[in-house]
C-alpha cells in the first residue's frame, strides 16, 4: 500500500485528489496539509469526503512520517520550495502547479514573474501527459502535471502536428468553467459578474501559452505559434478548446479522423468522437477530441473536466504509471452525461 500525502489539501485540486484517491485500491491517504485549516478534520472541510477520509489537516507534510508519494497542489512558487526535500528523502512527487512544466528558466521567469530556484529537479521532471509521453512517466520520480487548458489543446492538436499535415500556426478559442480559477473568490468569478455572460481574459498573456508551445513543438519539429484566447463561461467544470489550422494539403474528413484514431484508438481515457460534449466527461478522467475539415482548414476540439483530466485525475493517472500500476486504477469510471 502506497502512503500518499497532499500538500494544499483544501483547494479544488487537493480536494479532488482526495476524492479520487480515497477509493484507490493501492493507495492510503496518509496526510493532507492546509495552512488555514490546521487541526480541522478533512471531512468537516470537504463534507463530500465524510466516511472516506479520516484525517486532520496538518501544517507541514514533514509532520507525517513514512510517506511514499506526495502531490503538491499549491499555487506556483510553492512546489519548488517543497520538492527538493521530497526528492532528497526518495519520495516520488507530482507538482500540479506550473513550477516544473517549463524547461527554459528564462521563459518561466518571464511568464511567472519570479526566478526558478530548483534547477536540478526542473531538469529531471517529466511532463505528465500519458497519451504522448507514457514511456517517460513509467518509474519517474518527479512529474510536472500539465495545465488544464494545455491538456485539452495538446490532445486536440498533437495528432495533426505529429502527422505533419497542418501549418505550425494555431489559433485556439478555449472556454472554461469557473472552477479553473481556483477556490479563492475574485471579482471576475463572482456570480453576478460571470453568471450570464462569456468573459475573455488573459488574452496574449495566459501562462499556459508557453507550456502549450513547448509541448506541441515536440510534435511539429519546429516552433509553433499559438494564439490563445481563453474565455470564462458560467459553468463550474469543463473546458472546450477549439483549435484552428491551415492544412498543408487537401485531406478528406475520413483521412483526418484516421489520424486521430491512429493516435487514440487504443487509449482508455481519450476518445475521438463526432460531437464532443463537456457533459459527457464531467467528473471523469475521460477526454474527447473531434475534428472538422472545412475546405483548406481543419478545426480540432479538445474537451475535458478541468479538475479531473485537466488536473487531479491526470495526476493520479501519472502516479499509477510512476508506481508501476495499471494507469486506469481508481479512475475507470464514465462521465456524468447529464
Which residues are catalytic, by number?
148
At 213, list the grid cell.
508551445
The Cα 327–Cα 320 span in angstroms is: 5
In a 3-state reduction of DSSP, which class is residue 308? helix
Angle between helices 253-264 and 148-163 (to 10 degrees): 120
187 φ, ψ (degrees, to nearest 5): -60, -45
E-assigned strand segments in 158-294: 169-176, 199-200, 225-232, 239-246, 270-272, 287-294
Distance (Å, whole) CA 82 – CA 273: 40
DSSP for 134-165?
Answer: HHHHTT-SEEEPPPHHHHHHHHHHHHHHHHT-
CA 325: distance to chain centroid? 20
Here the cell at position 279 is 457533459
Question: How far is it, in rounded angstroms, from Cα 227 to Cα 275?
Answer: 24
Return the closest-CA partner of residue 84 out of 76, 75, 93.
93
Amino acid at each position: 500500500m502506497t502512503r500518499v500525502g497532499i500538500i494544499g489539501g483544501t483547494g479544488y485540486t487537493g480536494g479532488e485528489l482526495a476524492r479520487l484517491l480515497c477509493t484507490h485500491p493501492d493507495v492510503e491517504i496518509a496526510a493532507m496539509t492546509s495552512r488555514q485549516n490546521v487541526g480541522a478534520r478533512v471531512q468537516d472541510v470537504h463534507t463530500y469526503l465524510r466516511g472516506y477520509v479520516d484525517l486532520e489537516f496538518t501544517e507541514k507534510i514533514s509532520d507525517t512520517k513514512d510517506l511514499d508519494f506526495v502531490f503538491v497542489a499549491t499555487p506556483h512558487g510553492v512546489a519548488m520550495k517543497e520538492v527538493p526535500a521530497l526528492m532528497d528523502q526518495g519520495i516520488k512527487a507530482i507538482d500540479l502547479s506550473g513550477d516544473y512544466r517549463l524547461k527554459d528558466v528564462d521563459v518561466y521567469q518571464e511568464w511567472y514573474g519570479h526566478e526558478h530556484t530548483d534547477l536540478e529537479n526542473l531538469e529531471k521532471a517529466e511532463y505528465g501527459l500519458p497519451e504522448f509521453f507514457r514511456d517517460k512517466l513509467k518509474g519517474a520520480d518527479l512529474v510536472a502535471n500539465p495545465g488544464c487548458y494545455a491538456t485539452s489543446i495538446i490532445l486536440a492538436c498533437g495528432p495533426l502536428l505529429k502527422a505533419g499535415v497542418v501549418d505550425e500556426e494555431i489559433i485556439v478559442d478555449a472556454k472554461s468553467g469557473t472552477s479553473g480559477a481556483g477556490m479563492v473568490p475574485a471579482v471576475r468569478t463572482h456570480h453576478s459578474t460571470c453568471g450570464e455572460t462569456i468573459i475573455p481574459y488573459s488574452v496574449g498573456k495566459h501562462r499556459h501559452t508557453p507550456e502549450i508551445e513547448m509541448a506541441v513543438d515536440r510534435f511539429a519539429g519546429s516552433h509553433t505559434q499559438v494564439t490563445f484566447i481563453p474565455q470564462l463561461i458560467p459553468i463550474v467544470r469543463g473546458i472546450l478548446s477549439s483549435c484552428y489550422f491551415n492544412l498543408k494539403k487537401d485531406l478528406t474528413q475520413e483521412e483526418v479522423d484516421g489520424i486521430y484514431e491512429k493516435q487514440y484508438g487504443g487509449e482508455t481515457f481519450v476518445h475521438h468522437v463526432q460531437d464532443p460534449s463537456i457533459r459527457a466527461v464531467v467528473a471523469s478522467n475521460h477526454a474527447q477530441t473531434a475534428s472538422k475539415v472545412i475546405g483548406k482548414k481543419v478545426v480540432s476540439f479538445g474537451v475535458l473536466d478541468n479538475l479531473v483530466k485537466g488536473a487531479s485525475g491526470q495526476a493520479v493517472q501519472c502516479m499509477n504509471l510512476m508506481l508501476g500500476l495499471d494507469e486506469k486504477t481508481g479512475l475507470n469510471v464514465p462521465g456524468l452525461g447529464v
